[in-house]
Amino acid sequence: MSFSVSLCHRFPSFSIDIAFETAATGVTVLFGPSGSGKSTIINAAAGLLRPDQCRIDIDGTSLADTRNGVWLPPEQRRTGLVFQDSRLFPHMSVETNLRFGLRRAPPRGGIRFDDVVELLGIGGLLNRRPHTLSGGERQRVAIGRALLAQPRLLLMDEPLASLDAARKADILPYLTRLKTSLKLPILYVTHALDEAVQLADSLVLISDGRVVADGSVSAIAGRADLPLARRDDAGALLICRVEENDTRRELTRLEGGGAVFWVPLLDLPVGATCRIRVPAREVILASRPPDAISLHNIVPGIVRRIAEDTIRRSVVVEIALPNGGLLSRVTPDAVARLGLSPGSPVLALIKSTSIEVL
C-alpha cells in the first residue's frame, strides 16, 4: 500500500520537478523554505492545479496521470483540504459547518460525526459561530469538516502557520491523535521544524522545486549531510519505548535506536511509546567514560559522517547507533583532539534534561 506523487511544472520564473513515494497511511510532511514548491504539490494533489506532467496514485488508484489522459476533477478526488486560515462559513454554527462536510461524503463513509467531535475535542463548540472561536479552535473545526467529507487523502497546507506558539501547542496534540486514529494518508506542508518532528512519519525535504531527501523522519533528521543539520535547532529524532519509571530517582528509562536514555520522570506507563528529540548542540563527545559527572546518558556509537558547517565554524558529527543515530555539533578542534573520523568509536554524553520528549 503506497501513496506516490510525481509532477513537473514550469512557472514563468520557477520550475518544479518532484517525485516521492510513501506509505498509504500516516503523515508525510513536506518540509522546506517558503517558495520551494510545497503548496504546488498540495494544489496538484487536490486538482486545483494541472501541472505539465503529473501522476498521483493512492493504492494503485490514479487521481491524475497526464500521460494517459487521467485527470479527476477536484470533486471526484475525495481529498480533504485544510488551509492556513480555516475558511469556515461565518453565518453557520460549528455543527452546521461540520455537517457541510457530510454533504460531500459518499454514502456509508467510515468517519462518523460523533467520532470526529470527540477526536478533536470540539463538543463544547457545536452551537457557537466561527467569530467566537480562537484560532486553534477554528482550525480544529476546519479539520473536522474536511474529515467528515470522508476523504481518501487529507491535505494540510501549513494549517498552524497563522497561530501563535501557545495556540500551536494547544492543537498539536489533537493532530497527533488524528494521525494515530485514522488510517488514511495525510500530506502536511510546513516550514516549522517543531511541527515536522512531532507529526511526521515520513519526511520529504524540498528546496527550489526539487526533492533533497525523503524517508522516515528519524532517518532524515539524523543525517549530518542534509540542510536540517545546519540549522541552529538541528537534532536527532528517535522513537522510544518506556522501559522503567523509577519514582525514587524521579527518572524514566527509555529505549530507542538500540540505546538507553534516562529522562526526567514521565507520566507514561511502561510499554508506552514516545518520540524524543536530542538537540545536536546538547551532545558532548568523549573517547572514554568520564569520572564523577552529573549526566545520566553515556551512549556508545560509531562515527558515521562528519559534515562541515563553515558558516558557524563548526562540524556536525553523525553518530550511528544500532538502530538509529544522533547528531553532535562541535568545533573542528574537538574532532581533531579526539581523532575522530568515519568508523571511529565515540561516546555521546547527554544531560537528561536536554532530551526533549515530544
Is residue 113 packed enough to be buried (19+ CB in 10 Å), middle (13-18) or exposed (0-12)? middle
Type of residue at 39 = S
212 or 150, which is more confident? 212
Please state the φ and ψ torsions of residue 231, each to the nearest 5 degrees: -80, 155
210-216 and 202-207 beta bridge pairing: antiparallel
The helix/strand/coil state of 308 is strand
The whole-number pLDDT of residue 84 equals: 84
pTM for this model (two decimals):
0.89
Structural domains of the chain, ranges and CATH numbers in brackets: 2-221 (3.40.50.300), 235-357 (2.40.50.100)
- In the chain, % of residues over pLDDT 90: 68
Q: Which helix (H) or strand (E) holds 8?
A: strand 2-11
The whole-number pLDDT of residue 21 equals: 92
Type of residue at 239 = I
pLDDT at 2 over 90: no
DSSP for 130-197, written as a single string: GGGS-HHHHHHHHHHHHHHT--SEEEEESTTTTS-HHHHHHHHHHHHHHHHH--SEEEEEES-HHHHH
Per-residue cell: 25? 497511511
Within 8 A by CB and 6+ apart from 196, the residues are 29, 31, 190, 203, 217
Is residue 48 packed enough to be buried (19+ CB in 10 Å), middle (13-18) or exposed (0-12)? middle
**Contact (CB, 8 A) for 352 and 298:** no
* Range with the largest mean pLDDT of 24-28, 77-81, 205-209: 205-209
Please state the φ and ψ torsions of residue 173, each to the nearest 5 degrees: -60, -35
Chain mean pLDDT for the chain: 92
Within 8 A by CB and 6+ apart from 156, the residues are 82, 143, 186, 187, 188, 189
Side-chain half-sphere CA neighbours of 17 within 13 A: 1
Q: Cα dist. 322→26, 255, 308 in Å?
A: 25, 12, 24
The whole-number pLDDT of residue 135 equals: 87
Per-residue cell: 15? 520550475
**Contact (CB, 8 A) for 58 and 152:** yes
Handedness of CA 65, 69, 71, 72 (dihedral sign): negative
Q: What angle do CA 222, 59, 177 make, to 5 degrees?
A: 55
**What's the pLDDT tens digit per position in 250-282?**
999 999 999 999 999 999 999 999 999 999 999
**What's the pLDDT tens digit per position in 101-150?**
777 666 666 788 888 898 888 999 999 999 999 888 999 999 999 988 88
